[in-house]
Chain A
Amino acid sequence: MFRSTSLRLAALYTSGFAVSVVLLGAITVVTTRAALSDQFDARVRAESNALVEEYRVEGLDGLIQAVKERDRTPGALDYGVLDAQGRPMAGRLAKTPAPLGWTISRARPDREPVRILTVALPEGRRLLVGDDDKHIEVLNNALLASFGWTLLGVVILGVLGGYALSRDVHLRLAAISGTAEAIIDGDLARRVPVRGSDDDLDRLALTINRMLDRIAALMESLKQVSNDVAHDLRTPLTRLRQRLEAGLADPAERSQALEGGLADLDSILDTFAALLRIAQIEGGARRAAFRPCHLADIARTVVEAFAPSAEENRQSLTLAVDGARTIDGDVELLTQMLVNLVENALRHAGDGARIEVRVSGGEGGAALSVTDNGPGVPPAEHARLFDRFYRLERSRSTPGSGLGLALVAAVARLHGAEVGLADAGPGLTARVMFPAVA
């Protein structure tokens, strides 16, 4: 807990605030004291001037009268009048010896020091007007006390708040590190709890969870590939083994067995290559190599390459382009995707089928579709056809690895495109919809 970053930060902030409060208090006290002193001095000087005026108009008796009167008034200042020999004539301050100007007298220990202004009157007499610092001190003490309480409050709030804050942050960070520990220990499904407050820690948790999801998806894909390889390669490998055994047993069949074995091996290697390619595409690394591609050019190349083969099967393969579009992508993969779709149609649409490759582009994005008028596929099977190794019952006997559409799906996903099958009534349409490029 004491090594927690947030607690250290809270302590730092609290100390900072405390120092600020102390500085602010000191400055306030000093400036207030100075301002009050000025004000008191001004009042003393004004009284002194008024009494000098009294003396000038009313003479010595008038002055003494005025001083005596003021002495009787509660809350008034202190006064004193001295004759030319320094003897007291009137007022409480008359016993205090005082040079001209400002002095501070501590004559009476039970009282606050008194600030006295001494002025000379004609004929060597002197007038003293003074006031004690009591008011200033009272105000000062009040200020000091209030700043003291504030300081105490800041420190208490800072410590409590810092503790609460760091405890909260500490708990949330502990949840993240706990999740990481759990994942290290093998609980791969664990995710960082999210509060829904959308603050920085929450966003961090969401990012970490997204990263974990991505890793989980990749792991899942890897696991899937391993399972698929183990499961789907076993059958052809068994066949290969049987052929080789037969060749060994019967020299007459040897060359036929070897030839068949080589063909089996090639088909196994094809499956293997297709699986690796799908895994590579799903890894997403190829997105870095994206370039602008003309879908119509790709479609033209593919249609032109396959049209003669289609004609041999009395099928027709045509291209229709309405609104050609350029998309960001990988030409090689897009070509292979279209080849797989076209080959799928050629293989499954049957003799005499018409197959059309269509490139269309509008505001909503570009689309690439392959439509045939063959027997089609029951809609319930549409989605599953994109799974690895999934094959329709009736196609099991035809050649093919069951990976063609899985690769199509992988390439589409890599390009952020949606791929789907639809009934073309009769026949099947496979459509890849590319998102509009911003």
Chain B
Amino acid sequence: MKLLIVEDDREAAAYLKRALSEAGHTVDYAAEGRDGLMLAAGESYDVIVLDRMLPQIDGLAILRTIRASGVKTPVLLLTALGGIDDRVEGLEAGGDDYLVKPFAFAELLARVNALARRPPPQEVRTELSVADLRLDLLKRSVTRGGQRVDLQPREFQLLEYLMRHAGRVVTRTMLLESVWDFHFDPKTNIVETHMSRLRGKVDRGHACELIHTVRGAGYILREPD
């Protein structure tokens, strides 16, 4: 994928660039708001990683400008500001996701991947399927190999999120934010316990597992090899 990083901290940017390249992405980098704006408007990227606080032009101003000029590229905002209002402000300015510094690289990578292959917003899907697992969004029912799987409402949401991001790593924080709407980090292993229950219902008794733990990063639901 082709990514653009706009970040004024050169050392941090160089590290991100190297790590994202190693993960198989093509990365352009701008240290300044103006250059970032030019690149964002001129080239076509899959995801833009934008630092919120830049010298000269503020990151939010850049975001508003590129959105106003019709660029729909998903934008992941990076910020040192962790306040709730800051997050809301960033998303209202047209950001698609928001990551507070400092973060684990695995978290950034998972979020970039999650943003990149977002289905176009117009597309309305009523059913999600991975291998022999089917999730009906209208009836809110799940089957595995034709057999009904009974899920609690929260487990259904969890599975829906995993299936929408099938083949990509989702982190614990992404799940906390999108499934529980918890924008803070509980010390308890609630994601782990819900996930283990979900796996028990979805994968138990089946020859191949669909949900996997990715050590140090999160979870992934994918087609068996």
Chains A and B are bound partners = yes
Q: Does B85 contact A (CB under 8 A)?
A: yes
Q: Which residues on the B side are within 8 Å of A305 (C-beta)?
A: 154, 180, 182, 186, 190, 194
Q: State whether the Cβ of B69 lies closer than 8 Å to any Cβ in chain A.
A: no
B190 x A301 contact (CB < 8 A): no
B37 to chain A, nearest CB (A): 30
Cβ-based interface call for B208 (8 A): no
Interface: A286 (CB within 8 A): yes
Q: Mark B177-188, 1 if CB is under 8 A from A, else 0.
A: 000111111111
Interface string of B160-192 (1 = CB under 8 A from A): 000000000000000000001111111111100
Write the nearest CB–CB distance from A219 to chain B, whole angstroms.
20
With a CB–CB cut-off of 8 A, which chain A residues contact B193?
A: 308-309, 311-312
A269: B residues at CB distance < 8 A: 102
B182: chain A residues within 8 A (beta carbon): 305, 335-336, 339
- How far, in angstroms, from A257 to B183 measured CA to CA in the complex? 30
From A276, A286, A309, A335, contact of B85 by CB (8 A): A286
Give the interface size bracket for A toward B: 20 to 34
| CB contact between A309 and one of B83, B154, B180, B189 (< 8 Å): that residue | B189
Known: A301-B180, A332-B183. A306 touches B83 (CB 8 A): no
The residue from B82, B152, B187, B190 contacting A277, defined by CB atoms under 8 A apart = B82
Check if A343 sits within 8 Å of B194, measured CB to CB.
no
Answer yes or no: A304 CB below 8 A from chain B CBs.
yes
Which of A286, A312, A400 meets B187, CB within 8 Å?
A400
Contact with B along A286-313 (1 / 0, CB 8 A): 1001000000000001001110110110
Chain A 261-295 interface residues, beta-carbon cutoff 8 Å to B: 269-270, 273, 276-277, 280, 285-286, 289
A306 in contact with B102 (CB, 8 Å)? no
Contact with A along B35-63 (1 / 0, CB 8 A): 00000000000000000000000000000
Cβ–Cβ contact B82 & A273, under 8 A: yes
* Cβ-based interface call for B131 (8 A): no
Q: Which residues on B sit within 8 Å (CB–CB) of A333?
A: 84
A309-B190 contact given A277-B82, A304-B154, A339-B182, CB 8 Å threshold:
yes
Q: Is the CB of B194 within 8 A of A289?
A: no
A74 beta carbon closer than 8 Å to chain B: no
Q: A276-B82, A286-B84, A312-B193 are in contact. Are A343 and B186 (CB under 8 A)?
A: yes
B184 to A, closest residue via Cβ: A336
CA A267 to CA B83, docked complex, whole Å: 19
Contacting residues, chain A, for B197 (C-beta < 8 A):
308
Within 8 A of A (CB), among B72-107: 82-85, 102
Known: A308-B197, A312-B193, A335-B182. A346 touches B188 (CB 8 A): yes
The answer to whether A109 has its CB under 8 Å from any CB of chain B is: no
A16 at the A/B interface (Cβ < 8 Å)?
A: no
Interface residues of A in 335-361 (CB under 8 A from B): 335-336, 339, 343, 346-347
> Considering the chains assembled together, what is the distance between the CA atoms of A269 and B107 in angstroms?
15
Chain B interface size, as a band, is: 20 to 34
A88-135 residues at the B interface, CB under 8 angstroms: none
Q: Which residue of A has the minimal Cβ distance to B185? A: A270
Residues on the A chain within 8 Å of B83, using CB: 280
Q: Any chain B CB within 8 A of the CB of A378?
A: no
Contacts of B152 on A, CB cut-off 8 Å? 304
Residues of A within 8 A of B82 (CB): 273, 276-277
CA distance A305 to B194 in the complex (A): 8
Nearest chain B CB to A405's CB is how many angstroms away?
A: 13
Q: Taking the complex as formed, is A399 at the interface, i.e. its CB lies under 8 A from any CB of chain B?
A: yes
**In the bound complex, how far is the Cα of B197 from the Cα of A269, in angstroms?**
30
Rounded to whole angstroms, the CA-CA distance of A332 and B85 in the bound complex is 11
B187 and A343 form a contact (CB under 8 A): yes
List, in ascending order, chain B residues with CB within 8 A of A289's CB: 84-85
Task: Report the minimal beta-carbon distance from B152 to chain A, rounded to whole angstroms.
Answer: 8
Return chain A residues, CB-CB under 8 Å to B181: 301, 332, 335
Q: How far is the CA of A335 from the CA of B185 in the complex (A)?
A: 12
- Contact call A339/B84, Cβ cutoff below 8 A: no
Known A269-B102, A273-B82; contact A306-B184, beta-carbon cutoff 8 A: no
Q: Which residues of B contact A311 (CB under 8 A)?
A: 193
Report the bound CA distance from A336 to B185 in whole Å.
Answer: 9
Q: How far is the CB of B161 from chain A (nearest CB, A)?
A: 15
The answer to whether A332 touches B84, judged by C-beta atoms less than 8 angstroms apart, is: yes
In the bound complex, how far is the Cα of B185 from the Cα of A214, in angstroms? 31
Cα–Cα distance between A312 and B153 once the two chains are bound (Å): 20
Distance from B5 Cβ to chain A, minimum over Cβ atoms (Å) = 22
A236-276 to B contact mask, C-beta < 8 Å, 1/0: 00000000000000000000000000000000011001001
Interface membership of chain B positions 125-138, coded 1 if the CB is closer than 8 angstroms to chain A and 0 otherwise:
00000000000000
Cα A276 to Cα B79 in complex, Å, equals: 15
CA A301 – CA B181 in complex, angstroms?
10
Distance in angstroms between the alpha carbons of A270 and B104 in the assembled complex: 13
Q: Which residues of B contact A347 (CB under 8 A)?
A: 187
Question: Could you mark each residue 373-417 of chain A with 1 if its beta carbon is under 8 Å from any beta carbon of chain B, else 0?
Answer: 000000000000000000000000001100000000000000000
What residues of chain B lie closer than 8 Å to A312, measured between beta carbons?
193
A305-B182, A308-B190, A312-B193 provided; 17 other pairs, C-beta below 8 A? A273-B82, A277-B82, A285-B85, A286-B84, A305-B180, A305-B190, A305-B194, A306-B186, A308-B193, A308-B194, A330-B84, A332-B181, A332-B184, A335-B181, A339-B184, A343-B186, A346-B188
Q: Interface residues, chain B, CB within 8 Å of chain A?
A: 82-85, 102, 152, 154, 180-190, 193-194, 197
A selection of 21 A-B contacts at a CB cut-off of 8 Å is: A273-B82, A273-B185, A276-B82, A280-B83, A285-B85, A301-B181, A304-B152, A305-B186, A306-B190, A308-B190, A308-B193, A308-B194, A309-B190, A332-B181, A333-B84, A335-B182, A336-B184, A339-B184, A343-B186, A343-B188, A347-B187
9 interchain residue pairs of minimum CB distance: A308-B193, A309-B193, A309-B188, A305-B190, A336-B184, A309-B190, A343-B188, A339-B186, A305-B180
